[in-house]
Amino acid sequence: MADSFPQPQSKHPVDQGLPPLKLFTTGLQHVAAMYAGVVAPPLVIGAAVGLSVTELTFLTGASLFMAGIATLLQTLGVWKIGARLPFVNGVTFATVAPMLAINKAQGPEDALPVIFGATMVAAALGFVLAPFFSKLVRFFPPVVTGTVITLIGLSLMPVAFNWAQGGDANAPDHGAGANIGTAGLTLLIVLLLRRFTRGFVKQIAVLLGLLAGTLIAIPVGIADFTALREADPVGFPTPFHFGAPQFALAAIVSMCVVMLVSMTESTADMLALGEIVERPADERTIAAGLRADTAGSFVSPFFNGFVCSAFAQNIGLVAMTRIRSRFVVAAGGGILVVMGLCPVAAALVACVPQPVLGGAGVVLFGSVAASGIQTLQKAGLDQDSNVLIVGVSLAVGTVPIAAPDFYHAFPESAKIILDSGISTGCVTAVALNLVFHHLGRSPGDPGRPPAQADPQSAEAG
């Protein structure tokens, strides 16, 4: 893809290539760092809508394929699309809770087509808003983004706990000691690897934990390798495999809210990455990066994928290795595309038992919540107004977790939005931030808090 941005005479490290072998190995490391985060959302949604192991393999492969396409678009760029930074894209966790709410309201048969339709509309809206969004970031300061990221982690914790019990509430062994024990051992292995290893091994601790947990599950009797035996070595994500997209207003509204959250996180990640690679992200770069996010997200449903957004853990990998070439990440994107076209690779993930995923999910989803708390540390919680914004928004956002039947008397269309704690929490946080920090105050008003730093969000996939 052609790079339309002007290049300096002496290439910046971001634009420098590497020898083929190093390009491949360092690209593979980026894939390893993000892999668990990419496959977790399709596993969550696939299990929720009751997909068979074979269909779950297909959905996982589609997510890998689209993560690779979106990463190539972001790193290499075409026209005014793509930040052209070492920026990894993949399925964002932010959409999981709204998609679960859509499944609850629509039913398993129509859930995926409705999700795909809502994703396409939200992505198209995001693409149009991309050049203006950098001017709206002031309405998403750390007090808002930190609250939303925390809610993402909290909203997903019930999923991890259900996995740890076995995943199927109607199964006779749901919550059995073997299931919970396997989940606990997987969690312990991940923690030990994170504590006592370094470098590449530490980066892929979750991946190694999933492998070790699956091996432990074999003698326990909870491992099933049917998907691996039935998988073809080569395949292609058939367009609209799960049906043509459907367009439901409530689902579209919910996904549009999450798209704005996703764009906010991507903006923050671009700002952080720009500082790390010493090429500060200006307004044009941010707009181009958001166009890549939203363009990838729009195309994704055609191939049975979901919303694609930034993976902040890869920013940490860039900072740690000091390898700033965007072509390294592009190589990782190419690897993801190949994996998406190889059903056997996706089948390996589908074979991971639910309790093993539950143990790893505690780390993944808990880390998302912790990232939100880290962002809130920059939000000025010594100010009463910010404490109120965070407190009320978290309370509203955790209603679907703490009281799942709270909105049972509301219309089904309304429950799609209300049952998504991320959507309700985000809207509440933005509204309260406007009331306390913007409406009726001038920039020089002593009651107005000082300008807050750009949010440095993190997303575990």
Predicted local confidence at residue 452, as pLDDT: 45
Local structure of residue 10 (DSSP, 8 states): S
Question: In the predicted model, what is the mean pLDDT of the chain?
Answer: 82
Better pLDDT: 90 or 122: 122
Q: What is the DSSP string of 341-365?
A: T-HHHHHHHHTS-HHHHHHHHHHHH
Please say if the pLDDT value at position 455 is more than 60.
no
DSSP E strand stretches across 195-326: 308-310
Give residue-wise pLDDT tens across range 263-299.
877 887 787 787 778 787 788 888 999 999 999 999 9
In angstroms, rounded to a whole number, what is the distance separating the alpha carbons of residues 132 and 263? 12
408 close to 94: Cβ distance less than 8 angstroms:
no
Residue 453 has pLDDT above 60, yes or no: no
Of 306, 273, 256, the closest CA to residue 124 belongs to 256
CB 460 within 8 A of CB 37: yes
**Which of 354, 294, 339, 305 shows the shortest CA–CA distance to 133?**
294
Measured distance CA(268)–CA(305) in Å, rounded:
24
The helix or strand, by DSSP H or E, that contains position 158, with its residue range, turns out to be helix 142-165
388 token code pair:
């109120």
| Tens digit of each residue's pLDDT (9 = 90 or more) over 133-143 | 877 767 778 88
Interatomic CA distance for residues 92 and 44, integer angstroms:
12
d(CA 34, CA 117): 26
What are the helix (H) ranges across 204-247?
205-220, 226-230
What does the alpha-carbon distance between residue 444 and residue 435 come to, in Å, rounded to a whole number?
Answer: 17
Point out which residues pair with 91 in neighbouring strands.
Answer: 308
C-alpha 257/C-alpha 240 separation (Å) is 24
CA angle, 179 then 60 then 64, to 5°? 130
Cβ atoms of residues 411 and 248 within 8 Å = no
pLDDT over 50 at 2, yes or no: no
| Amino acid (one-letter) located at 235 | G
Question: pLDDT, tens digit, for every residue of 192-235?
Answer: 998 998 876 776 777 788 889 989 999 988 887 877 777 777 77
pLDDT for res 317: 66
pLDDT of residue 451 exceeding 50: no
pLDDT at 303 > cutoff 70: yes
User: Is the separation of the CB atoms in 432 and 392 below 8 Å?
Assistant: yes
How far from each other are the two terminal CA atoms of the chain, in whole angstroms?
Answer: 26
Mean pLDDT for the stretch of residues 141-150 = 83
Summarised one tens digit per residue, pLDDT across range 350-390 is 678 889 888 888 887 787 788 788 888 888 888 999 999 99
**Mean pLDDT throughout 145-149?**
81
237: its two tokens: 């994500």
Handedness of CA 25, 310, 131, 127 (dihedral sign): positive
* Average pLDDT of span 230-246: 84
Predicted pLDDT at 364: 75
Q: What is the pLDDT at residue 461?
A: 41
What is the DSSP track for 71-99?
HHHHHH-BTTB---SS--EEE-GGGHHHH
Model's pTM, two decimal places?
0.69
